[in-house]
Structure 1
Amino acid sequence: MPLVQLVKRQWLDYVRTHRSRRNLLVHLAAVPAFVAANTALVVALLLGMWIAATLSLAVMAASLAWQGRCHRGERERPEPFSGPAEAVVRILLEQWVTFPRFAFSGGWTRALREASR
């Protein structure tokens, strides 16, 4: 599936799969941690800092595990991955594009308000 179509589909499905208060709060902490660790990984690899790269991978993995665990508490879950390549692309899109867009557009606040009712 073309990247533009994947971004659009993920965005349209995002509110439906992010309604749990716990999941929303975890994303607010875990997504920035993933993005920071992902950035640190690239820098560490470019500078040959192998221990820092390993720690960055560990933080990224922990962030994704935490988010995945909280997604189990959602009534509706995201569509399963069709394969490893699609999993990587969708995960990176969610962390770098879709969640920040959701947060900065006010969607996160609206979803949290609705989840609190």
Structure 2
Amino acid sequence: MGRHRPNLLTWQWRGYAATHRNPINLIVHLIAVPLFVLASLVLLSALFQLSVLPLILGVIGLLAALALQAHGHRLESKPQEPFSDTTDAVQRLLLEQFFTFPRFVLNGGWWRAWKTRQRR
């Protein structure tokens, strides 16, 4: 069983800026996170409508968004903590897409990281 964090959102936020500094990763996240959110909505809609094409497109969108972000994260000088198990991975990924990254953008964290970006 994976590590239990009582307040995962706070834990994720605390280290977020330090693991999101590479300029390519910053740009990748601006594209991939909205793609993930949109693909999630398409997938959810497909499940309610029992429609195959949106289901396939939603899954492709989710996988593409996650693959892009995984590539971006590999460019960071400070890597993120590895996932401890599947539950940890799902929870952290969903929180990042729907809460942490939007918060990072809206509170100016993305812009501050961009201005002081760390080049590889």
TM-score by length of 2: 0.92
The one-character-per-residue Cα deviations of 1:36-55 (angstroms, maximum 9, x if unpaired) are 10011011101101221111
Hey, what does 1:105 align to over in structure 2? 107
Separation in 2, partners of 1:73, 1:56: 26
Distance in 2, matches of 1:53 and 1:88, equals 19
Aligned to 1:89: 91
Counterpart residue number, 2:58: 56
Alignment match of 2:81 (pick from 76, 79, 91): 79
TM-score (norm 1): 0.94
CA distance in 2, matches of 1:13, 1:29: 21
1:67-110 CA-to-partner distances (Å, cap 9, x unmatched) read: 10111110011110010111011000000000000000000000
The counterpart of 1:36, out of the listed 35, 38, 61, is 38
Structure-2 separation of matches of 1:106 and 1:44: 34
Residue 65 of structure 1 corresponds to: 67
Residue 115 of structure 1 aligns to a residue in which SS?
coil
Structure 1: distance between partners of 2:110 and 2:36: 18
| Equivalent AA in structure 2 for residue 97 of structure 1 | F
Q: Distance in 2 between matches of 1:32 and 1:77?
A: 22
Alpha-carbon offset, residue 116 of structure 1: 6.7
Structure 1 runs not aligned, ≥5 long: none
Aligned equivalents of 2:61, 2:76: Cα separation in 1: 23
Instruction: Decide whether aligned partners of structure 1 residues 74 and 2 sit closer, same or farther in structure 2, where only a CA change above 3 A counts.
Output: closer
Task: State the Cα distance separating 1:2 from its structure 2 match.
Answer: 5.0
Runs of 4+ in 1 over 6 A off after TM superposition: none
Counterpart residue identity of residue 81, structure 2? E
Q: Which runs of 5+ in 2 are unaligned?
A: none
